[in-house]
Chains A and B, each alone.
Chain A
């Protein structure tokens, strides 16, 4: 692994007596997307706040692009992009005005927002006030805002939460493109399928601790269950049988089903990230 774009070690943060983040550590390489998965209150947002300089860690160290936080906060914040979970846009201003304003904060004096708006599918709507935007359009604008300074590190907090499929796909396409460009992406999400499709690696976080961190495929293979689901007619009804592939008698059970049952379908199934998460956390993601 080349020098990590994000390097967090033993991070800790408490809100009063509540331990929100407890010994979290990980690294993200340039061009890599790390999915940060966990239920509400798991510590994802607090971790992102520490990584983006909004919170000072009470424990542990952070380096972004080789620069230590909070010592070099100004330098770091000039090279990162953040897409917040809240749609914190200036609704009285147009999409273009929002982007131009944030460009000024990054010290970009001459900024043309059109290409960025086109890129997130908001071309032609840049002059409309954000108050007139749908939820999906606002989220796209948030994504565009996070890209204003062509960041080397992207922090994306639930970027597709509650979006229609078209908007969600548009945002996922942008995330992939940014990673291909070489940006390190830290993506928090509830959506296991999204994490699976976008992430090079995923980290499961629960109660402030990282429970597992690996490539999705590796986690599924190592901790999930592969099976064959057989559906067949039985009398007037339909029944199904699930045969775990790791079961020593799996092949015989499948052969017997094919020979003896009035089959409807046979499907192979592999474990989902959700299944793996449940195995680690003892609960489902809500």
Chain B
């Protein structure tokens, strides 16, 4: 590998990229669009559950229960019909209704069982139903002074990060996905540049000079990685993904750029025209995007998702930006990412080298 030759090829690739209006346009578009999307998505989570209540004579009691319960709000209605209508339409953010009988206080105070109608909209979850039943029990406790048979709060154990009152916003969840999508766009751009070079046989002309295939591969690797890294870095800066741990994020994004460069070289080697390159690029990128999509949903990713090469990247970004994880905490994911990036880059280089040798 000779520096001046590699530098000349990198400069040429950069020029070819900026001259290609399509790739230049979709790159700028992707960066702007993802940044705009990020700032349009909600940055906080409203954890308040609003329950509609129709009752007579329990105003203070109900408000007291609501005030004592974190995340519970009460909307009062004058009649059962109004309450039913609100629950049906979801008016005032009401997710359920409690229709207390007029003699509720007296009945409970007398130690008798009172019947409270729990109004639920179609499709309500079992969890929400249980929550609302608990509220009824709380009210009964407050009126009668008799504790309910089970206090679920005392038995609750939060595994992992306790995010009660500090839920991950959609913005936080989207961060890994947006950053990965930028890398995806660059995979396609690099694949197309490689493919054009092969199809137009310009690489043959390059190899008829003192330039060697190693110089070409090094230049493609540097250009592809550099292009992807600069762009993903830009978006990361804009959406504030670098702030929690700059060195760690730089390493993760650099490894991610190397990963997609490897896949770009593979796609570019096989694609014979624009549509084929598009198809092959997406054939790689769609599975690679699965971990980024999975990050939108709570819970631990299944094993098969964890085995996807891009999982390490998403895991590190998510861990660092949302949970403030340290080098030590993400070391496993980072090692996995480094291994996959190396494998993808080596495979891409070998396949491209073989493709060029058959021209």
Contact (Cβ within 8 A) A105 B5: yes
B156 contacts A by Cβ under 8 Å? no
* Cα distance A282–B9 in the bound complex, in angstroms: 47
B4 contacts A by Cβ under 8 Å? yes
Give the residue among B4, B15, B200, B205 with the most A Cβ atoms within 10 A: B205
A227 contacts B by Cβ under 8 Å? no
Within 8 A of A (CB), among B1-45: 4-5, 8-9, 11-12, 15-16, 19-20
Contact (Cβ within 8 A) A54 B208: yes
Contact (Cβ within 8 A) A90 B12: yes
Given contacts A84-B204, A102-B205, A107-B4, contact A93 B12 (CB under 8 A): yes
Residues in A neighbouring B20, C-beta threshold 8 A: 92
* Cα distance A97–B13 in the bound complex, in angstroms: 12
A117 contacts B by Cβ under 8 Å? no
Contact (Cβ within 8 A) A88 B12: no
* Cα distance A86–B8 in the bound complex, in angstroms: 23
B300 contacts A by Cβ under 8 Å? no
B201 contacts A by Cβ under 8 Å? yes
B144 contacts A by Cβ under 8 Å? no
Cβ-defined partner of B205 (8 Å) among A84, A93, A97, A104? A84
In the complex, the chain B residue whose C-beta lies closest to that of A90 is B202
Contact (Cβ within 8 A) A82 B208: yes
Contact (Cβ within 8 A) B202 A88: yes
* Cα distance A88–B356 in the bound complex, in angstroms: 14
A89 contacts B by Cβ under 8 Å? yes
A236 contacts B by Cβ under 8 Å? no
Contact (Cβ within 8 A) B210 A82: no
In the complex, the chain A residue whose C-beta lies closest to that of B17 is A92
In the complex, the chain A residue whose C-beta lies closest to that of B5 is A105
Contact (Cβ within 8 A) B201 A88: yes
Residues in A neighbouring B12, C-beta threshold 8 A: 90, 93, 101
Residues in A neighbouring B201, C-beta threshold 8 A: 84, 86, 88
Residues in B neighbouring A80, C-beta threshold 8 A: 208
Give the dominant DSSP class at B's interface. helix
* Cα distance A88–B203 in the bound complex, in angstroms: 8
Contact (Cβ within 8 A) B15 A54: no
B206 contacts A by Cβ under 8 Å? yes
In the complex, the chain A residue whose C-beta lies closest to that of B204 is A88
* Cα distance A107–B209 in the bound complex, in angstroms: 10
Given contacts A54-B204, A92-B20, A93-B15, contact A104 B8 (CB under 8 A): yes
Q: How far is the CB of B190 from chain A (nearest CB, A)?
A: 15
B238 contacts A by Cβ under 8 Å? no
Cβ-defined partner of B210 (8 Å) among A54, A77, A91? A77
B211 contacts A by Cβ under 8 Å? yes
Q: How far is the CB of B325 from chain A (nearest CB, A)?
A: 43
Residues in B neighbouring A129, C-beta threshold 8 A: 19
Contact (Cβ within 8 A) A107 B200: no
Cβ-defined partner of A105 (8 Å) among B8, B16, B204? B8
Cβ-defined partner of A82 (8 Å) among B5, B8, B205? B205
How many chain A residues have a CB neighbour from B under 8 Å? 25
Chain B proximity mask over A69-87: 1 for CB below 8 Å, otherwise 0 = 0000010011010101010
Q: How far is the CB of A45 from chain B (nearest CB, A)?
A: 11
B230 contacts A by Cβ under 8 Å? no
Given contacts A54-B204, A105-B5, contact A92 B209 (CB under 8 A): no
Residues in B neighbouring A97, C-beta threshold 8 A: 15
Q: How far is the CB of A29 from chain B (nearest CB, A)?
A: 22
* Cα distance A222–B159 in the bound complex, in angstroms: 96
B207 contacts A by Cβ under 8 Å? yes
Residues in B neighbouring A93, C-beta threshold 8 A: 12, 15-16, 19
In the complex, the chain A residue whose C-beta lies closest to that of B201 is A88
In the complex, the chain A residue whose C-beta lies closest to that of B200 is A88
* Cα distance A68–B8 in the bound complex, in angstroms: 28
Contact (Cβ within 8 A) B4 A104: yes
A53 contacts B by Cβ under 8 Å? yes
Q: How far is the CB of B5 from chain A (nearest CB, A)?
A: 6
Residues in B neighbouring A145, C-beta threshold 8 A: 205
Contact (Cβ within 8 A) B4 A92: no
A47 contacts B by Cβ under 8 Å? no
Q: How far is the CB of B132 from chain A (nearest CB, A)?
A: 65
Within 8 A of B (CB), among A206-245: none
Contact (Cβ within 8 A) B16 A106: no
Q: How far is the CB of A99 from chain B (nearest CB, A)?
A: 12
In the complex, the chain B residue whose C-beta lies closest to that of A100 is B8
Contact (Cβ within 8 A) A101 B8: yes
* Cα distance A104–B8 in the bound complex, in angstroms: 6
* Cα distance A52–B206 in the bound complex, in angstroms: 12
In the complex, the chain B residue whose C-beta lies closest to that of A148 is B209
Cβ-defined partner of B209 (8 Å) among A84, A89, A102? A102
Residues in B neighbouring A86, C-beta threshold 8 A: 200-201, 204
Chain B proximity mask over A95-133: 1 for CB below 8 Å, otherwise 0 = 001000110111100000000000000000000010000
Contact (Cβ within 8 A) A74 B208: no
* Cα distance A105–B205 in the bound complex, in angstroms: 11
Residues in B neighbouring A91, C-beta threshold 8 A: 200
Residues in A neighbouring B208, C-beta threshold 8 A: 52-54, 77, 80, 82, 84
Residues of B within 8 A of A (CB): 4-5, 8-9, 11-12, 15-16, 19-20, 200-202, 204-212
- A-B pairs with beta carbons under 8 Å apart, 7 shown: A52-B208, A80-B208, A86-B201, A101-B8, A105-B209, A107-B4, A145-B205
Nearest 3 pairs between A and B by C-beta?
A: A104-B8, A92-B19, A88-B201
13 additional A-B residue pairs with CB within 8 Å, beyond A54-B208, A107-B5: A74-B212, A78-B209, A78-B210, A84-B204, A84-B205, A88-B204, A89-B205, A91-B200, A92-B20, A93-B19, A97-B15, A102-B206, A105-B206
